[in-house]
Structure 1
Amino acid sequence: MSTTTTEPTLTAQDRCDACGAQAYVRVELDAGELLFCAHHARRHSEALSGVAKTIHDETERLHAEPGAQR
């Protein structure tokens, strides 16, 4: 499994598959992908790390200053 952090690719339209909040983490699995909010990504991180092909984590955006350039 690899964790990637690159330019934002998740938007406000991407929603957590567990609760419907804005997604900040995309998990690629053999069977497809799952999207998670920061809370559910942390909650399920141990289980996901064992089965994920990749994890794209944009949770650092939660602490970014409004209007900050990347």
Structure 2
Amino acid sequence: MITVAEPLTVADRCDRCGAQAYLRVTLPSGGELLFCAHHARAHQDKLRQVALNIQDETSRLA
């Protein structure tokens, strides 16, 4: 089954600092992590290793 992720909104906040989230990481356990662009970049290598899916909306910042 294919699911379409809902777009991130201004209400979605970074789990690390509380800023607006532009990246949603879905974990194999079913959990989700949200990150601002800064923390997404800072943790990108580890996130790629553990993520089932990464929804990256950082292009909205350009």
Name the Cα RMSD after superposition: 1.8
Tell me: higher relative CO, structure 1 or 2? Use CA pairs within 8 A at least 6 residues apart: 1
Q: CA deviation at 1:30?
A: 1.8
How many pairs does the alignment contain? Answer: 58
Task: Decide which structure has greater strand share.
Answer: 1
Is 1:59 matched up with 2:36?
no
TM-score by length of 2: 0.87
Moved beyond 3 Å, runs of 4+: none
TM-score by length of 1: 0.77
Letter in structure 2 aligned against 1:41: A
Q: Distance in 1 between matches of 2:12 and 2:19?
A: 8
Is 1:14 matched up with 2:12?
yes
Is 1:36 matched up with 2:47?
no
| Structure 1 unmatched runs, 5+ | 1-5, 64-70
Identity of matched residues, %: 63
Higher CA-based Rg: 1
